[in-house]
């Protein structure tokens, strides 16, 4: 079973684009049942069921991952937390009167891996985005631990799932600092940085080549792809220029 955790230098840097391309790439090399997972999606619309009787909260990343996936699964497995508010997950969860429970996500992930040949897990936001804050009054609470009663972050989820991490670097001013901080955070947790993707999200970025050369010199993992600015790019086409880790 192949699985990866996709993180990024920030929100909106191309994690979904990369996750969808990776799903297609895994399918192109012969994995039959490939599924994307978005454990926590903050920012959903209420979508009515076909019969109009019920409905569900649906996030656009989840829609994109499902369109790329060859394995269709119930939403409790590929998106256990669908939170309406487009905010940091711990804030969106609080507004929805929910608590993001890493054990619940882990159980969903293990259910998926039973049925899939490959799972691509897209994190929320950047690597250390908070998923839940301590219950009020909890003592000794601090970032970095996953127990309920303490802060939990997206990094704790990656650690708990023990997945190799792929870092999407959104190429724009500031990305070197964000990429190097993220690399430190990944490696300091004993996780493997399986590779990184250079994704041009600012077509006007000055000194792009020099920034790319710095990333190549400083990131301790292979560059899996370098994607130009292209609003219309199809994940199946991007997959052909993505090197698998």
Ligand X SMILES: Nc1ncnc2c1ncn2[C@@H]1O[C@H](COP(=O)(O)OP(=O)(O)OP(=O)(O)O)[C@@H](O)[C@H]1O
Handedness of CA 54, 57, 62, 63 (dihedral sign): positive
Active site residue 38: yes
Site for ligand X in 46-65 (CB under 6 A): 61
State the number of binding residues for Mg ion (CB under 5 A). Answer: 3
Give the nearest distance from C-beta 59 to Mg ion in angstroms. Answer: 9
Give the nearest distance from C-beta 145 to Mg ion in angstroms. Answer: 26
Nearest CA to 129 among 39, 10, 243, 224?
10
Give the nearest distance from C-beta 76 to Mg ion in angstroms. Answer: 20
Give the nearest distance from C-beta 200 to Mg ion in angstroms. Answer: 17
In the block, tokens 């560059």 appear at: 223
φ/ψ bin of 236: left (φ > 0), alpha (ψ from -120 to 50), beta (otherwise):
alpha
Sketch the per residue contact string, 89 through 108, with ligand X: x for CB under 6 A, - otherwise.
--------------------
Among 61-69, 84-92, 101-109, 151-159, which window interacts with Mg ion (CB under 5 A)? Answer: 61-69
Q: Which of 10, 61, 78, 156 binds Mg ion (CB under 5 A)?
A: 61
107, 24 Cβ separation under 8 angstroms: no
Check binding of 174 to ligand X (CB under 6 A).
no
Active site residue ranges? 38
Q: Give the footprint of Mg ion on this chain (CB under 5 A).
A: 15-16, 61
- Site of interaction with ligand X (CB under 6 A): 8, 11-17, 61, 125, 199-201, 227, 229-231
């Amino acid at each position: 079973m192949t699985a990866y955790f996709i993180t990024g230098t920030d929100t909106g840097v191309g994690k979904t684009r990369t996750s969808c391309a990776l799903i297609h790439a895994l399918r192109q090399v012969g994995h039959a049942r490939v599924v994307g997972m978005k454990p926590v999606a903050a920012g959903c619309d209420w979508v009515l069921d076909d019969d109009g009787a019920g409905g569900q909260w649906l996030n656009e990343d989840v829609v994109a991952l499902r369109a790329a996936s060859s394995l269709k699964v119930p939403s409790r497995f590929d998106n256990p937390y669908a939170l309406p508010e487009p905010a940091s997950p711990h804030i969106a969860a609080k507004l929805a009167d929910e608590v993001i429970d890493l054990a619940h996500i882990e159980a969903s992930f293990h259910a998926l891996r039973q049925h899939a040949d490959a799972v691509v897990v897209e994190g929320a936001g950047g690597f250390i985005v908070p998923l839940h804050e301590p219950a009020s009054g909890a003592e000794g609470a601090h970032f970095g631990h996953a127990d309920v009663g303490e802060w939990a972050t997206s990094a704790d989820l990656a650690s708990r799932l023990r997945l190799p991490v792929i870092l999407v670097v959104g190429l724009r001013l500031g990305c070197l600092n964000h990429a190097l901080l993220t690399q430190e955070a990944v490696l300091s947790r004993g996780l493997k940085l399986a590779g990184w993707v250079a994704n041009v999200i600012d077509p006007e970025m000055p000194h792009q080549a020099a920034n790319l050369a710095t990333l190549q010199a400083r990131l301790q993992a292979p560059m899996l792809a370098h994607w130009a600015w292209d609003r219309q790019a199809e994940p199946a086409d991007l997959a052909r220029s993505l090197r698998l880790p």
